[in-house]
Homo-oligomer: A and B are copies of this chain.
Amino acid sequence: MSATATRDQIENMVRSILLKSMGSPPAPAPTNGRGNGKAGGPPKVIVNISARHCHLTQEDVDVLFGKGHQLTPMKRLYQDTDFAAEETVAVVGPRQRMIPGVRILGPCRKFSQVELAFTDAISLGIDVPVRLSGDIEDTPGCLLIGPKGSLVMPKGVIRAERHVHMGPRDAEYYGVKHLDRMNMRVESPCPSTLEGLLVRTHPDWKLEVHIDTDEANACDLAHASNVILSKA
Protein backbone atom coordinates (compact mmCIF):
# COMPACT_ATOMS: atom_id res chain seq x y z
CA MET A 1 0.00 0.00 0.00
CA SER A 2 1.69 3.16 -1.15
CA ALA A 3 0.47 6.01 0.95
CA THR A 4 1.39 8.59 -1.65
CA ALA A 5 -0.68 7.15 -4.41
CA THR A 6 -3.59 6.54 -2.10
CA ARG A 7 -3.50 10.12 -1.03
CA ASP A 8 -3.20 11.33 -4.61
CA GLN A 9 -6.09 9.18 -5.72
CA ILE A 10 -8.23 10.44 -2.90
CA GLU A 11 -7.28 13.97 -3.79
CA ASN A 12 -8.22 13.46 -7.42
CA MET A 13 -11.50 11.92 -6.45
CA VAL A 14 -12.65 14.45 -3.96
CA ARG A 15 -10.74 17.69 -4.20
CA SER A 16 -13.05 20.57 -4.82
CA ILE A 17 -16.29 18.75 -4.34
CA LEU A 18 -18.48 21.70 -4.93
CA LEU A 19 -22.00 21.63 -3.69
CA LYS A 20 -24.45 24.39 -3.16
CA SER A 21 -25.88 24.53 0.29
CA MET A 22 -29.57 23.88 -0.20
CA GLY A 23 -30.54 23.97 3.43
CA SER A 24 -31.95 27.05 5.04
CA PRO A 25 -29.67 28.27 7.78
CA PRO A 26 -31.32 28.17 11.18
CA ALA A 27 -30.70 31.86 11.67
CA PRO A 28 -32.56 34.15 9.26
CA ALA A 29 -30.27 35.20 6.46
CA PRO A 30 -29.61 38.90 6.70
CA THR A 31 -30.63 40.83 3.64
CA ASN A 32 -27.02 41.54 2.81
CA GLY A 33 -25.90 38.05 3.69
CA ARG A 34 -24.68 36.94 0.33
CA GLY A 35 -21.81 34.77 1.44
CA ASN A 36 -19.52 33.83 -1.42
CA GLY A 37 -22.34 32.62 -3.65
CA LYS A 38 -24.30 34.50 -6.23
CA ALA A 39 -25.93 37.68 -5.11
CA GLY A 40 -28.83 36.71 -2.89
CA GLY A 41 -28.13 32.99 -3.12
CA PRO A 42 -26.79 30.68 -0.46
CA PRO A 43 -23.01 30.33 -0.14
CA LYS A 44 -21.33 27.56 -2.06
CA VAL A 45 -20.08 24.96 0.37
CA ILE A 46 -16.69 23.60 -0.60
CA VAL A 47 -15.79 20.41 1.24
CA ASN A 48 -12.14 19.49 1.01
CA ILE A 49 -10.65 16.34 2.38
CA SER A 50 -7.43 16.66 4.29
CA ALA A 51 -5.53 13.48 3.54
CA ARG A 52 -2.64 12.80 5.92
CA HIS A 53 -0.04 15.54 5.66
CA CYS A 54 2.45 17.52 7.70
CA HIS A 55 3.57 21.05 8.40
CA LEU A 56 7.24 21.66 9.15
CA THR A 57 9.48 24.34 10.56
CA GLN A 58 12.30 25.52 8.31
CA GLU A 59 14.71 23.95 10.82
CA ASP A 60 13.07 20.55 10.33
CA VAL A 61 13.09 21.01 6.54
CA ASP A 62 16.83 21.64 6.84
CA VAL A 63 17.34 18.34 8.67
CA LEU A 64 15.09 16.29 6.34
CA PHE A 65 16.00 17.83 2.98
CA GLY A 66 19.36 19.52 3.53
CA LYS A 67 20.47 22.85 4.97
CA GLY A 68 18.72 25.79 3.33
CA HIS A 69 16.31 23.66 1.27
CA GLN A 70 13.17 25.53 0.27
CA LEU A 71 9.85 23.72 -0.19
CA THR A 72 8.73 23.58 -3.83
CA PRO A 73 5.06 24.49 -4.35
CA MET A 74 3.26 21.80 -6.36
CA LYS A 75 -0.33 22.99 -6.06
CA ARG A 76 -2.05 25.92 -4.39
CA LEU A 77 -4.69 24.97 -1.85
CA TYR A 78 -8.15 26.47 -1.85
CA GLN A 79 -7.09 28.91 0.86
CA ASP A 80 -4.42 30.10 -1.50
CA THR A 81 -1.86 31.26 1.03
CA ASP A 82 -1.01 27.57 1.47
CA PHE A 83 0.33 25.01 -0.97
CA ALA A 84 0.99 21.31 -1.29
CA ALA A 85 4.73 20.89 -1.72
CA GLU A 86 6.55 18.55 -4.07
CA GLU A 87 8.34 17.19 -1.00
CA THR A 88 7.08 14.28 1.06
CA VAL A 89 8.33 12.51 4.18
CA ALA A 90 7.88 9.07 5.65
CA VAL A 91 6.21 8.86 9.06
CA VAL A 92 7.19 6.09 11.46
CA GLY A 93 5.38 5.13 14.65
CA PRO A 94 6.13 2.93 17.65
CA ARG A 95 5.08 -0.28 15.90
CA GLN A 96 8.07 0.02 13.55
CA ARG A 97 5.75 0.68 10.68
CA MET A 98 6.00 3.43 8.13
CA ILE A 99 3.67 5.43 5.94
CA PRO A 100 5.75 6.75 3.05
CA GLY A 101 4.97 9.73 0.88
CA VAL A 102 3.20 11.94 3.40
CA ARG A 103 2.75 15.30 1.71
CA ILE A 104 4.20 18.47 3.22
CA LEU A 105 2.01 21.55 3.15
CA GLY A 106 3.78 24.90 2.91
CA PRO A 107 4.81 27.50 3.72
CA CYS A 108 6.86 26.55 6.78
CA ARG A 109 5.34 27.19 10.17
CA LYS A 110 6.64 27.90 13.66
CA PHE A 111 5.92 24.31 14.72
CA SER A 112 6.00 20.93 13.06
CA GLN A 113 2.80 18.93 13.03
CA VAL A 114 1.61 15.69 11.44
CA GLU A 115 -2.12 15.29 10.73
CA LEU A 116 -3.36 11.72 10.37
CA ALA A 117 -6.72 10.03 10.07
CA PHE A 118 -7.38 7.45 12.78
CA THR A 119 -6.99 4.70 10.17
CA ASP A 120 -3.43 5.93 9.56
CA ALA A 121 -2.66 6.46 13.24
CA ILE A 122 -3.91 3.01 14.24
CA SER A 123 -1.76 1.40 11.57
CA LEU A 124 1.29 3.23 12.96
CA GLY A 125 0.39 2.54 16.57
CA ILE A 126 0.06 6.20 17.53
CA ASP A 127 -2.77 7.05 19.91
CA VAL A 128 -3.56 10.46 18.46
CA PRO A 129 -5.85 13.00 20.08
CA VAL A 130 -8.40 15.06 18.15
CA ARG A 131 -7.03 18.60 18.14
CA LEU A 132 -7.38 21.90 16.38
CA SER A 133 -4.35 22.57 14.20
CA GLY A 134 -1.62 24.19 16.27
CA ASP A 135 -2.83 22.84 19.60
CA ILE A 136 -0.05 20.31 20.02
CA GLU A 137 0.82 20.41 23.73
CA ASP A 138 0.87 16.90 25.23
CA THR A 139 0.42 15.19 21.88
CA PRO A 140 2.45 12.16 20.78
CA GLY A 141 5.42 12.41 18.47
CA CYS A 142 6.83 10.27 15.69
CA LEU A 143 9.89 9.73 13.57
CA LEU A 144 10.11 11.63 10.28
CA ILE A 145 12.35 10.39 7.49
CA GLY A 146 13.45 12.56 4.59
CA PRO A 147 15.95 12.07 1.77
CA LYS A 148 18.75 13.85 3.60
CA GLY A 149 18.05 13.01 7.21
CA SER A 150 15.61 11.94 9.82
CA LEU A 151 14.45 13.42 13.08
CA VAL A 152 12.44 12.58 16.15
CA MET A 153 9.46 14.91 16.38
CA PRO A 154 8.77 14.92 20.13
CA LYS A 155 5.16 16.02 19.77
CA GLY A 156 2.72 17.24 17.14
CA VAL A 157 0.89 14.17 15.80
CA ILE A 158 -2.86 14.85 15.80
CA ARG A 159 -6.09 14.02 14.13
CA ALA A 160 -7.32 17.41 12.98
CA GLU A 161 -10.67 18.37 14.41
CA ARG A 162 -13.32 18.79 11.70
CA HIS A 163 -13.72 22.48 11.01
CA VAL A 164 -14.99 25.10 8.63
CA HIS A 165 -13.12 28.16 7.40
CA MET A 166 -15.09 31.24 6.51
CA GLY A 167 -14.95 34.97 6.08
CA PRO A 168 -17.19 37.53 7.80
CA ARG A 169 -19.92 37.46 5.13
CA ASP A 170 -20.43 33.73 5.41
CA ALA A 171 -20.33 33.91 9.20
CA GLU A 172 -23.07 36.50 9.04
CA TYR A 173 -25.09 34.39 6.62
CA TYR A 174 -24.98 31.36 8.91
CA GLY A 175 -25.34 33.37 12.09
CA VAL A 176 -22.11 32.06 13.59
CA LYS A 177 -18.89 33.49 14.95
CA HIS A 178 -15.33 32.28 15.46
CA LEU A 179 -15.18 29.05 17.51
CA ASP A 180 -18.92 28.37 17.22
CA ARG A 181 -19.98 24.91 16.12
CA MET A 182 -21.82 23.81 12.97
CA ASN A 183 -23.28 20.55 11.70
CA MET A 184 -22.87 19.22 8.19
CA ARG A 185 -25.38 16.79 6.76
CA VAL A 186 -24.14 14.87 3.75
CA GLU A 187 -26.78 13.40 1.43
CA SER A 188 -25.19 10.42 -0.28
CA PRO A 189 -25.52 6.63 -0.49
CA CYS A 190 -24.16 6.69 3.09
CA PRO A 191 -26.03 9.68 4.52
CA SER A 192 -24.42 11.10 7.63
CA THR A 193 -24.36 14.18 9.78
CA LEU A 194 -20.95 15.25 11.03
CA GLU A 195 -21.62 17.36 14.09
CA GLY A 196 -19.68 20.02 15.91
CA LEU A 197 -17.51 21.38 13.11
CA LEU A 198 -15.47 24.18 14.64
CA VAL A 199 -15.96 27.56 12.97
CA ARG A 200 -12.78 29.45 12.15
CA THR A 201 -13.10 32.92 10.71
CA HIS A 202 -10.60 35.20 9.04
CA PRO A 203 -11.23 38.21 6.79
CA ASP A 204 -9.37 36.56 3.89
CA TRP A 205 -10.82 33.06 4.10
CA LYS A 206 -13.18 31.47 1.62
CA LEU A 207 -15.93 29.18 2.88
CA GLU A 208 -14.41 25.70 3.10
CA VAL A 209 -15.10 22.63 5.23
CA HIS A 210 -12.15 20.43 6.12
CA ILE A 211 -12.72 16.81 7.04
CA ASP A 212 -10.33 13.87 6.98
CA THR A 213 -10.30 10.76 4.80
CA ASP A 214 -12.10 8.59 7.38
CA GLU A 215 -14.91 11.12 7.62
CA ALA A 216 -15.16 11.54 3.85
CA ASN A 217 -15.19 7.80 3.29
CA ALA A 218 -17.70 7.17 6.05
CA CYS A 219 -20.25 9.51 4.47
CA ASP A 220 -19.30 8.64 0.87
CA LEU A 221 -18.63 12.26 0.08
CA ALA A 222 -17.44 11.36 -3.41
CA HIS A 223 -21.03 10.42 -4.30
CA ALA A 224 -22.76 13.16 -2.34
CA SER A 225 -25.70 14.88 -4.00
CA ASN A 226 -25.97 17.63 -1.41
CA VAL A 227 -24.31 19.07 1.66
CA ILE A 228 -26.20 21.10 4.21
CA LEU A 229 -24.30 23.26 6.64
CA SER A 230 -26.12 24.70 9.64
CA LYS A 231 -25.42 26.25 13.00
CA ALA A 232 -25.22 23.59 15.71
Contact = CB atoms under 8 A, between A and B. Distances in A.
Interface string A205-232: 0000000111101111000000000000
A109 to B, nearest CB: 24
11 contacts: A1-B1, A2-B123, A6-B119, A6-B123, A9-B125, A117-B119, A117-B217, A191-B195, A213-B214, A214-B217, A214-B218
Question: A-side binding surface: helix, strand, loop or mixed?
Answer: mixed
Interface string A173-213: 00000000000000001111111100000000000000011
B191 A9 contact: no
A218 B194 CA distance: 9
A110 interface: no
Contact of A218 (B95, B125, B189, B218): B218
Interface string A54-95: 000000000000000000000000000000000000000001
Contacts of A189: 130
Top 8 A-B pairs, shortest CB-CB distance: A218-B218, A118-B217, A214-B217, A191-B195, A193-B193, A215-B218, A6-B123, A214-B218
A212 B217 CA distance: 10
A27 interface: no
A157 interface: no
Given A1-B123, A215-B218, 20 more contacts: A1-B1, A1-B3, A1-B97, A1-B98, A6-B119, A6-B122, A10-B122, A13-B122, A118-B217, A119-B119, A119-B214, A122-B217, A130-B189, A130-B220, A191-B195, A192-B192, A192-B218, A213-B214, A214-B217, A217-B218
